[in-house]
Every structure is written in C-alpha cells, then in structure tokens.
Amino acid sequence: MKTVTVSLGDRSYPIHIEAGLLARAGEILAPLSRGRAMAIVTDENVRPHLAMLQASLADAGVASEAIILPPGEKTKSWAMLERVCDRLLELGVERSDHVIALGGGVIGDLVGFACSIVKRGCRFVQIPTTLLAQVDSSVGGKTAINTSAGKNLIGAFHQPAMVLIDPAVLDSLPARQVRAGYAEIVKYGLIDDFAFFEWCEANAPALLAGDAEARVHAIAHSVAAKARIVAADEHETNGIRALLNLGHTFGHALEAEAGFSDRLLHGEGVAAGCALAFRYSVRKGICEGQDAERVAAHLRAVGLPDGLAAAGIDAPSATLVEHMKHDKKMAAGTLPFLLARGIGRTYLDKTVDLTDVAAFLDTEAR
C-alpha cells in the first residue's frame, strides 16, 4: 500500500492507495468508529461499492447506516445539503464521529461541507470512487455546493481525517468518466512538472485502458503533488494553491453554459480550459504556439475536448465572460487567470483584461 501524507500539523492526514483497498476498509476504519455506527453518504450509482464497504465494516465489527442520494452534479445543492445534515442529526452524529463520503467529487464536496457545519464541525473520511475524485477533489479540504450564481460558491475548507483510494473501483466506470478524471492528472504535469507531462504522453493509453500499475503511479504522483501544494497554501492565501485551478476559470464558464450537467463533465471542462489557457497565453505572447498545440494534441489523442467546439459550447463570448465574473477568485473586480510560459511553467496572472478574454473567445468560436 502506498501512503501519501498531507502535512498540516496536528490536522495532517494519510492518503492510502492500493488496489482492493475497499474490501478491507473496515479494518482501517474500525479505530475511527470508537465502537459506534458509522454513517456513509453515497449515491445510487455507487451501490455495489456500498455493499462491499458495509460488508467490510461489518467484518470489523462496525455497524453502518447509509444515506443514498441521487447521482449527478445537481446533488451539490441546498436541498441535498439540508437532507444530509438532517439525516446525520437524526442518526445522532457527534463531533468526534467520522462520516464516510463514498462516491465521486459531488458526494465528497457535499459531505465535506455538511460535516463542516453539523454541530459546528464533525470528522469525515473520503473514499473516492471516480478517477477525478481520487486525484483531485478528495484531497485538500475544499468542500462546497453549487448555487444558481455558479459552481462551488457556498462552502468551507474542511480537511478529511483520511482518504482511502482503491484504483480497482475504476474498472466499473464508463470510459468517458475515466477520461474526464485523466484531465486532472495531466494538469499536474502542465502546472510545474514537464517530466510528468512526458510520462502522461507515453502512458495515457495504458492508464485509460485499465493498466493497474500505470493507474497507481498516476494517482500516487498526482495526490503527492496536490498534498505538497496544499501543505504550502492550505487556504489559497499566497497564490501557490491557485495553481491547481489551471483550466478551471475557462472550464467553469463552459460548465455553467452547459448547465452543470452531463452535457459537459467537470474534467472535460478542465481539459478544454487548459487548452484555452495555453492558447490565450500564446495570444499574450508569453507561450510558444508549439507548446499550446502539443497540449491540445495530447488532449485530442485521449478523447478530451481541446476548445469550445469540441466541448459542444456555442455561446457568445460575453455570456462566457459573464459566467467567469462569478468566479470565487474575483477580487476588487479583477479575475486572476492561470496562464503558462510553457508546459510545466504555469503562473498566476492578475492583470488579465476580461475584454481581451472576450476577444480571444470570439476568435476561438470562429
């Protein structure tokens, strides 16, 4: 079993990675139960994994109660937050109890936020079941729900007590979901690790086809990169953690235009956003065109969108820019952008003019 630690002083926590880990999660989680039943929040799509987890807990002498929600991005809502909080209170969850989030990023974000506010904060464990959640959203403590104003605008920083990652559960995912998760893997190479980007170029086909060794390596490398960044800037105050948002400013605007629906998965939006960020960097004269094309070519090669048309987005640039104005990073009317001087050379630019972004998007739409 590989273990990566997120170093946050007395709030540090381990990320355990091993194929088949779900089947023996009970023995790992039993010490956290304190002899009490554990609440598990999941969704309808994860029922087979829920059965395995509950059996593993039972074998370890731990009772459990499941809260099963509808699948999909719309579950990250006020209504579902209320439903989860009410049920946790009905179950008598205490501050020192550990709630289990079993599912993808939607479940992890929702449960983490619920646990940040129930009785002013209880503990939780992340067991991510999608590739995107395994390499990104389950680590770092960002929790949130969506609102009519935009994505992830209501939330809190609330770190999990532990993350258990079983790459074997990915075998049950549709290929599209795995590709979407891969976007968050290659992002780490684009941020500050050119050698990892080269590894991705060489190994993406094996990873996407289910090669266990490639998946474990990619997941462990990704969470180690994120753990390092989170430890350096937990609350995104010094600009380091903002690097993790590469592709997200453009990507979230595309997701908003798609109605935060299965029409455009989050990872697909991030992929298109990364390609757009690199091409916009070329427009600003800070990145070589060959680097931007290399990124786009790799995304196309693995079946991910590399721009507006490929993402199925046909909207006026003014509409997309308006979506961007709801970004959490807006400060004094300015929106910082993650741009790139080259592959592995991303930086935060606080001087971007949204009028110029709109002009760029107009050229992209032609």
pLDDT digits (tens, 9 = 90+) for 216-259: 999 999 999 999 999 999 999 988 999 999 999 999 999 999 99
Contacts of 265 (CB under 8 A, 6+ apart): 176, 177, 180
CB neighbour burial string for 210-229, b if at least 16 within 10 angstroms, e if fewer: eeeebbbbbbbbbbbbbbeb
pLDDT at 239 (0 to 100): 87
For the whole prediction, is pTM greater than 0.75?
yes
pLDDT at 150 (0 to 100): 82
Active site residues: 120, 142, 184, 226, 236, 241, 245, 248, 252, 266
pLDDT at 333 (0 to 100): 75
Torsion of CA 344, 348, 349, 355, to 10 degrees: 90
pLDDT at 157 (0 to 100): 97
Instruction: Note the pLDDT tens digit of each residue in 275-290.
Output: 999 999 999 999 999 9
What is the bridge-based pairing of β-strands 346-349 and 142-147? unpaired
Ranges of residues in the chain with a pLDDT under 70 are none
With residue 29 as reference, give the H or E element that holds it.
helix 25-33
With both helix axes pointing from N to C terminus, report the angle between 212-232 and 175-192 in degrees, rounded to the nearest 10.
Answer: 50
Question: Could you tell me which of 45, 40, 86, 43 has the C-alpha nearest to residue 63?
Answer: 40
In angstroms, rounded to a whole number, what is the distance separating the alpha carbons of residues 113 and 118? 9
pLDDT at 260 (0 to 100): 87
